[in-house]
Amino acid sequence: MSGAAVEVAEQFIDALDRNDADELLALADATGSWWVDTGNDRAAGVPEHDPGADRPWPLHGRMPLGEKIELLRGLPERFPDGCRQQRWNSFGGDGVAVVEVEGSGTFIDGSQYANRYAFVIGVRDGRVHTVHEYLDTTHAVDVLHGRNLDRVTVAAEPAPREVSSDTVGERLALAFLAAIGGASPEGLAAVTTPDATWWADSGKNRELGRFDAPVRSGDRVPVWGLAVLADRAKHLPGLVGVFEGGWAIHPQCVIDGATSVAVEAASHGVTGDGRIYQNRYCFVLDIVDERISAVREYCDTAHAFDFFNAAPRQRD
């Protein structure tokens, strides 16, 4: 779906692909903000909070847009041949756009970087004002390393937000989240096509998380990679069942683009022994005939894999 916000967001990602900091600054409101999640340091990753100099990773957490772009000037030192950010899907609503991107490059130590992103980009007065960047944080840690990676903190429980439910896409997005919150495979079946798929990224096993990987099916499909949605949904009761102290997932923002809709969400779960799980998500849902035909789940994989003590093997 085209529109002014989508056009500006696409220009912004294309400038990022060219590693052109000057063009990024020209397209952005430097007083805005850029947010990326923060692994097990959950308090530092609250989207409304700027952790300042104590942030984990030099580029993670919320920071002023201008400051983030200036830091990106140093990218060629880490990726001498450049780091590509190639968009492949974009859509938007009123003043906000979603751009799905595949990133690739060779790190200075020879490691191959291949991340998958959903950027939620807010546009105000023709300029980028906010960026929410969702990516596979496990892969980012593995290749880019960082600081304070062993720091574990807990954030306040996210508050529910009122979001619009006026369109078919918005209603489908909210029903999808409600089914996850209720650990209901039946609820998902009610809003999805029979052949719907569900994708989630795969940490160190980059091949498993490819968008064009074979679709897995059966009762034992993992919760990463590309799988038949109905089969992956069978995991929900077991996953949510560990949160004996309560579980909720709240929508934060819905962006409807007619054939695709995105919903940003935040979860909070407490296990019987008091451990707290808090993730932040961008679910991109493809819509066909008023049903969800595909789900792409972007979240903080470093926190998820650590919490559940599970991660894809290098060869899964």
Of 84, 101, 96, 176, the C-alpha closest to 135 is 101
User: Do 4-144 and 168-307 fold alike per CATH?
Assistant: yes
pLDDT of residue 93: 81
Record: fold of 168-307: Nuclear Transport Factor 2; Chain: A, (3.10.450)
Please name the CATH architecture into which domain 4-144 falls.
Answer: Roll (3.10)
Mean pLDDT value across residues 167-193 = 97
Domain extents for the chain?
4-144, 168-307
pLDDT category at 58 given cuts 50, 70, 90 is: confident
What residues contact residue 214 under an 8 Å CB cut-off, 6+ apart? Answer: 226
Mean pLDDT value across residues 32-53 = 94
pLDDT category at 2 given cuts 50, 70, 90 is: low
Does this model's pTM top 0.85? My answer is yes
pLDDT category at 1 given cuts 50, 70, 90 is: very low
Number of C-alpha atoms within 13 angstroms, CB side, residue 155? Answer: 27
Concatenating the DSSP letter of every residue in 75-98 gives HHHH-TT-EEEEEEEEEE-SSEEE
Which has the higher per-residue pLDDT, 315 or 118?
A: 118
Mean pLDDT value across residues 144-172 = 90
Of 178, 99, 179, the C-alpha closest to 134 is 99
Q: Residue 189: is its pLDDT beyond 90?
A: yes
